[in-house]
Structure formats: structure tokens, C-alpha cells
Amino acid sequence: KAGVTQTPRYLIKTRGQQVTLSCSPISGHRSVSWYQQTPGQGLQFLFEYFSETQRNKGNFPGRFSGRQFSNSRSEMNVSTLELGDSALYLCASSARQGMGNSPLHFGNGTRLTVT
Amino acid sequence: KNQVEQSPQSLIILEGKNCTLQCNYTVSPFSNLRWYKQDTGRGPVSLTIMTFSENTKSNGRYTATLDADTKQSSLHITASQLSDSASYICVVSATNAGNNRKLIWGLGTSLAVNP
């Protein structure tokens, strides 16, 4: 069974630009969550999608948005990039909705650098 | 405030030696606690999950313990190998208002195993 796939692996953008990250979950998994990981803050929850609907949202500004498609693939968009958005963005899928009910299966992330 | 604190922040040991990583939490109401291993440049991978009624659980050379009274967990690694070099992250699941589960992540312990 293929794991969680995130594209691209690396991305360099300049301030003010926008970026879209993609995540393909494990086949059969309908829940997709997004996290931002930085050395000082650890993993910070962005949002969770299940059956194309956002079910939970973290404390991030509206510049961070996402969506999920009918095949469970998900995209995350960040607009008006700031230097502080530089981070590793991780996508995780699970078989069921509701974080904590089942293990999260993470992709290897997209490393975003904002200059 | 729900918090998860891990210690030490970083650790260096020699190959073949044992080590113990600590996770203290102030999370209520507690649902479960997971340990993840994150290799450099990769996403976290679940090692084990501990529920309220479990004291000890092993996964190969990894043994996790949970003391729900003192709200402490430990991850013991036996006969360390070079491949154990990674970040180990503790995450606690809490049930918040509305019966939604929320994950509270520790910052991780960075372990380096030297030959």
C-alpha cells in the first residue's frame, strides 16, 4: 500500500507570493490533516478535512486555507507569504475522522522557504 | 492549559547503550498518548499508543510506560542502534468541549546514536 505522498518536496518562494501544496493520502483514508513544523514550535495543527469538509481548524490566520477533493486528495494554500511561513509542512492521513481515534500516517513533507 | 513537555531536549549516546526519554503532560480529559519517531527529512511514524489503563507496551526494542496518576510517560530504547538517531515526539489526545478530540504535541527529544 502506497504511503502518503506530498508534492513538491522543496519550494522556495518570495514574500508576498502564494503557494499551493498537495497531499495524496493512503488509499481508503478519508481524513487528511495538515501541520506546520518548525524547530521552535514543533508540530502546529492547521486543519483537518474529512469527506471534502473541514472538520477542525487550528489557530492560523486566514492566509492558510485548504480543500479536499472527492478522491480524498487535499491541497493547502498559503497566500501573501511571510518570512515566518518558512517551515516543513506535513500532511497526515487516517482511516477515521477525529484526531486521536486512529494513528496518523504522515507524508515526508514539503519544505517551504520564504525569502 | 493543556501542555506536553519532553525531556531531555537532546541526547547523545553510544551505540549499544540504553536510554530513556520522558514526557510529562497536563492534559485533561486524557484520551491516549502516542510516541512518534521522526527521522531527519521524513514524516513522523507512530511507535506505540498508550491508553489510560495501560502501564507498559513494547514494540521491539522500544518500551513505553504510562503513569496516569503522575501524568508521565517514558520511552525506553534498549541496545540502541545507529538507526535510532531521530527525533522522538510525544503527543497526547484530549477530548475537548463538543466531544472533539484534540492532539497536544511535545517539541520532541532529538536522539543521536554515535558509533
User: In this predicted structure, which of A2-11, B27-36, B82-91 has the lowest mean pLDDT?
Assistant: B27-36
- Residue among B95, B101, B105 whose CB faces A43 most closely: B105
Q: For A82-90, what is the mean pLDDT?
A: 97
| Per-residue H/E/C for chain A | CCCCEEECCEEEECCCCCEEEEEECCCCCCEEEEEEEECCCEEEEEEEEECCEEEEECCCCCCEEEEECCCCCEEEEECCCCHHHCEEEEEEEECCCCCCCCCCEECCCEEEEEC
Residues of chain A in contact with residue B41, where contact means CB-CB under 8 angstroms, are 108
pLDDT digits (tens, 9 = 90+) for B57-99: 999 999 999 999 999 999 999 999 999 999 999 999 987 666 6
- Residue among B43, B103, B108 whose CB faces A99 most closely: B103
Residue of B44, B47, B101 whose CA lies nearest to A48: B101
Q: Is the separation of the CB atoms in B75 and B88 below 8 Å?
A: yes
pLDDT digits (tens, 9 = 90+) for B37-62: 999 999 999 999 998 888 999 999 99
